[in-house]
Amino acid sequence: MNCPCPTPVLLATAKQIGYWQCDVGNSSKSNWVEFQWPFSAILEQAFCSGWSSVDFRRGGNDYRVTFKDSCGSRLQEACNGRPCDAEQVNKQTNAKRPVRRWPSLQEKQSWEALQIQQAQQHWSHWTCADWAWLLDVDDAPPASQHPPRRSYTMESYFQDDFWPYILKNWPMDKLISAAHPKGERCNFALKRLTSPTEGAVGHGGQDWEWTALQNLWQQSGKGTQLLAAFRVQNRGLIQAFTAQQKVMKGRLSEDFTDGAQRSLGVQLLWHGTRSAQSLLDICRDGFDRARAQVCIYGKGCYFATSSKYSDHYACNVRLPRSNHSQVRAMFLAAVLVGECVVGSNNMYPPPQKPHSMSGERYENTCDRLPNPNILVTYKDHQALPLYIMLYEP
């Protein structure tokens, strides 16, 4: 069917054909292959004639390719060296595949080289930024566009021997809430940490912190490379976590019927969540047991001693890397762990302690005793998101 508008004068003709490709990959990965002659010539002639679609037969199957761009936009895209989109439909099976046309193979190579250069610039901004956010490549702002919004001076919460090393040495002076690059209201900041070799400015001089995170990652069982980490700085969550620690510690100091002493500890555990938006929700509001879905050991928030286990629940995020590849993300959290009991499906609340004179309930449930692999929390702010860990799939 001919296009009603005048036939455009394009850069290519049927004698000097454009470069046509079809995506024969699957939903998870594209695989663009070239149309060979004479099919490329059939497509080119119809395209240059301003047709809306063209039919052809190949390998015993009948196909229709429909051009998505109007005549005017075809000319504009061709002059800009950008691909024009189309769609191929197998008339027998109704299977659909994306098709695209480049003005020439050279234009295709030039365009891809430009995309790589721009992505590398985004990656350079990201590695050098003192503050960063989980954003798609096109949304990543330069380092200068997300300055600190305001700062606070906080008391040193994690200085006594109760806390793990990485918390006792966590920088708390002038805790910063950075301006969100999209202008959204936000009560937390993400301080980006990487290896000093990947960007000394963005690393912020916290060599001990990155080394500690690398050691924890290597010991956690996942076996992949740790690429970077975001330190989650949310003043409200830190205050609520330490307040919960004092309450739980007081309850464990009561006299029990067996006369034994109980103690409260902080463990660094792993937590995976299904989407990048959920990562940011937890940074803002903390872990919410109401969102629990699979509750084999109780209806609460789940944490694992192994990052390999949490990887099953982690999400993919896009970062401004030169190859546009996806990386995985999960939390490293500080979790208040008291007395544990093996949980059961959808258990809530946890059972009462038989040795408690006041009928207190267990602080945690787990998958097994001793040496649990999975721990479940039931109190608000019983866990604190410390870092978003970014790693290779």
Could you tell me if 166 and 304 lie in one domain? Answer: yes
pTM of the model: 0.67
pLDDT at residue 148 tops 70: no
Based on the structure, what is the number of domains in the chain?
2
By the 8 A CB rule, do 154 and 203 touch? no
Could you tell me if 36 and 161 lie in one domain? Answer: no
Q: What is the pLDDT of residue 164?
A: 92
Could you tell me if 154 and 221 lie in one domain? Answer: yes
223 belongs to a structural domain = yes
Angle at 107 between CA 104 and CA 113, to 5 degrees: 145
Could you tell me if 84 and 131 lie in one domain? Answer: no
Domain boundary among 69, 103, 137: 103
CA 264/CA 248 separation, integer angstroms: 7
11 belongs to a structural domain = no
Question: Which whole number is the average pLDDT over 10-16?
Answer: 45
109 belongs to a structural domain = no
pLDDT at residue 137 tops 80: no
At 185-234, the pLDDT tens digits run: 678 888 888 776 554 333 444 688 999 999 999 998 888 889 889 899 88
Could you tell me if 229 and 377 lie in one domain? Answer: yes
Could you tell me if 53 and 148 lie in one domain? Answer: no
Could you tell me if 28 and 138 lie in one domain? Answer: no
Q: Residue holding tokens 């290779």?
A: 392
pLDDT at residue 365 tops 90: yes
Could you tell me if 98 and 138 lie in one domain? Answer: no
CA 382/CA 336 separation, integer angstroms: 6
Give backbone dihedrals phi and psi of 159, rounded to 5 degrees, phi first. Answer: -90, -20
Q: Range with the lowest mean pLDDT among 74-88, 221-235, 307-321, 336-350?
A: 74-88
Indicate which CATH number applies to the domain containing 372. Answer: 3.90.228.10
Could you tell me if 192 and 337 lie in one domain? Answer: yes
